[in-house]
A and B are shown apart, each in its own frame.
Chain A
Amino acid sequence: MPRLSVWMVRTALLYLGVGFTIGGLLLFNKGVYIDAAIWRLRPVHAEIALIGWTLQLALGVAFWILPRLTRTERYGRTWLAWSGYGLLNAGVLLLAAARWNNGPAELTLAGRVLELLAVAAFAVYLWPRVKPFGK
């Protein structure tokens, strides 16, 4: 597995653990009441579990498993994919922080823009790797 995939899949695994833990808190609190403030973690839970875990895992595995470009080029413009990794996680963390306490709408917007740039970078990077093997 190439290095970026190791980073992405491991980061995704951490988000899975944290996302499940927050989800567990929400569910516990729904059944056996602890504190009303826990409910505010709901959008944080959704962000971390959907983007941090599911999407990041899919992109990390795609970087690993899709056909390489050519024998010499191999992974190609990896800086694009690494930028995508950085932007995606900056976006998730910013959104988690911003949405927890109903923070300023500008922060949430900034987080969404970061995520958009991340997936755009990834889409551009992955595009030429979606091709027949060995061509």
Chain B
Amino acid sequence: MPRLARWYIKAGLVYLVLALLVGVLLQARTVIDLPGWAGRLQPVYLHLLIVGWITQLIIGVAYWMFPKFTREQPRGSETLGWLTFGLINAGLALRTIAEPQAGDLGWVLAVSAVLQVIAGWLFVINTWARVKER
């Protein structure tokens, strides 16, 4: 398994655990008193799970197992792959921090949004030509 795929999958596992931890917090609110930010974790929970875990697992496995691009560049551009990895994880981490802060960190959310959108399209671009018949 190539190094980049391992990073995606391990980052995915970290987000999976984090997501379920946030899920516990969301539920704990109904039993014990937690600060206000805990009440705004619902979209964080959802996206840690879907973007952090599921989408990163897909990206990692796709990078590893999709048909080879060329003999010289079997997995497309490795640079683009790493760039995507950095952007999607930075974007998601910023979202996790800023979204529960009720407006105080609005610009951080905006930055997070831009990073993730770029990451998404870079993955599409780098993967497109590997999706092919023999």
Contacts and interface: CB of A to CB of B under 8 A. Distances in A.
A1 B109 contact: no
Contact of B109 (A5, A19, A31): A31
A32 B104 CA distance: 10
Contact of B107 (A9, A21, A25, A32): A32
Interface magnitude class on chain B: 20 to 34
Contact of A31 (B113, B119, B120, B127): B113
Contacts of B50: 49-50, 54
A10 B107 contact: no
Contacts of A28: 109-110, 113-114
The B interface, classified by DSSP as helix, strand, loop or mixed, is helix
Range, interface on chain A: 20 to 34
B67 A24 contact: no
A3 B131 CA distance: 10
A21 B133 contact: no
B56 interface: no
Contact of B124 (A3, A5, A16, A49): A16
B115 to A, nearest CB: 9
